[in-house]
């Protein structure tokens, strides 16, 4: 039987979602696989909705796996959370059709990026947000963010080498809010390539700092001579909020 799980995790101590042969740090994927395999006494492979980079967090990452037997969902979830590290948690588990795929059936994803715009960082959340001491112009960032909404070729906003869809993705919405020193960027789209969210946020930060203009972003979106952006926001401020099916 096939099951779909929603998991949250703090990515600070991991090399990312996917297993890495060259990293000394564990991955989220292998940490979960080891626990499921232990409970079911057989090797289990899980399939995530996509990758998250080293240091990136998740509030609602999803994955599916096949079990050789029917599971008691409550007991199985409880057992997983008892065995998993404290920085990984299973939020929900449900049975799905055998043809379901956590990655290929996803219709949209929402990411959050957190910025603390303050001269003094918070020692209790340094790895959970990006602290930026220079003041940001939120109005200019909001105006520039509108350029990314819609269907565009994002080849200059990803490090991905090749793409079957020619780097074309559709961003449905970007919201930027500020409360005191805390800035939150919420971004929803039909799919995001490697470093795409971080490069978009990185460019919005540069606009907010007055180092580039929104016209610069327009040119990058229209430029078909590929040159990936050098503006990439740090990993620790990024969260995968939700995968929509």
The per-residue pLDDT for range 155-209, each reduced to its tens digit, is: 999 999 898 889 999 999 999 999 999 999 999 999 999 999 999 999 999 999 9
Q: Which of 27, 15, 41, 29 is nearest to 103 (CA)?
A: 29
226 contacts 155 by C-beta, under 8 angstroms: yes
140 contacts 207 by C-beta, under 8 angstroms: yes
Q: Can you tell me whether residue 189 is helix, strand or coil?
A: strand
64 contacts 4 by C-beta, under 8 angstroms: yes
CA distances from 166 to 4, 153, 169, 219, 224 (A): 30, 7, 9, 18, 11
Q: Which of 32, 150, 147, 118 is nearest to 83 (CA)?
A: 32
Q: Which of 126, 162, 143 is nearest to 10 (CA)?
A: 126
> How much is the pTM?
0.95
157 contacts 229 by C-beta, under 8 angstroms: yes
Instruction: Please say if the pLDDT value at position 23 is more than 90.
Output: no
The predicted pLDDT at position 126 comes to 93
Instruction: Please say if the pLDDT value at position 21 is more than 90.
Output: no
217 contacts 144 by C-beta, under 8 angstroms: yes
Q: What is the mean pLDDT of residues 140-150?
A: 98
CATH (residue range 108-244): 3.30.70.660
What positions carry a catalytic annotation? 53
Q: Can you tell me whether residue 88 is helix, strand or coil?
A: strand
For the residues of 130-144, what is the DSSP string, one character each?
A: EE--S---HHHHHHH
Instruction: Please say if the pLDDT value at position 225 is more than 90.
Output: no
16 contacts 53 by C-beta, under 8 angstroms: yes
Q: What is the mean pLDDT of residues 103-108?
A: 98
Domain 2-96 coded CATH 3.30.1360.170: no
Spacing of C-alpha 103 from chain mean position: 13
Mean pLDDT of the chain: 96
| Ranges in the chain annotated CATH 3.30.70.580 | 2-96
* Cβ atoms within 10 Å, residue 124: 7
The predicted pLDDT at position 61 comes to 98
| Ranges in the chain annotated CATH 3.30.70.660 | 108-244
The predicted pLDDT at position 207 comes to 98
The predicted pLDDT at position 52 comes to 96
């Amino acid at each position: 039987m096939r099951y779909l799980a929603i998991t949250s995790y703090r990515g600070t101590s991991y090399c990312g979602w996917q297993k890495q042969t060259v990293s000394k740090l564990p991955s989220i994927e292998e940490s979960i696989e080891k626990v499921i395999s232990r409970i079911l006494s057989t090797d289990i492979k899980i399939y995530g909705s996509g990758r998250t980079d080293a240091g990136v967090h998740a509030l609602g990452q999803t994955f599916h796996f096949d079990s050789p037997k029917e599971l008691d969902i409550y007991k199985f979830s409880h057992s997983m959370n008892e065995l998993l590290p404290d920085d990984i948690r299973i939020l929900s588990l449900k049975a799905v059709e055998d043809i379901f795929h956590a990655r290929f059936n996803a219709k949209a994803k929402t990411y959050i990026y957190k910025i603390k715009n303050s001269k003094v960082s918070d020692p209790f959340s340094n790895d959970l947000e990006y602290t930026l001491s220079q003041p940001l112009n939120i109005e200019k960032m909001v105006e520039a963010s509108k350029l990314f909404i819609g269907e565009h070729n994002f080849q200059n906003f990803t490090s991905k080498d090749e793409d079957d869809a020619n780097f074309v993705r559709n961003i449905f919405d970007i919201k930027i809010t500020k409360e005191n020193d805390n800035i939150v960027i919420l971004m929803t789209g039909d799919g995001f390539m490697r470093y795409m969210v971080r490069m978009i946020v990185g460019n919005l930060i540069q606009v907010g700092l007055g180092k580039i203009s929104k016209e610069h972003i327009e040119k990058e979106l229209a430029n078909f001579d590929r040159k990936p952006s050098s503006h990439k926001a740090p990993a620790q401020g990024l969260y995968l909020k939700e995968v929509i099916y």
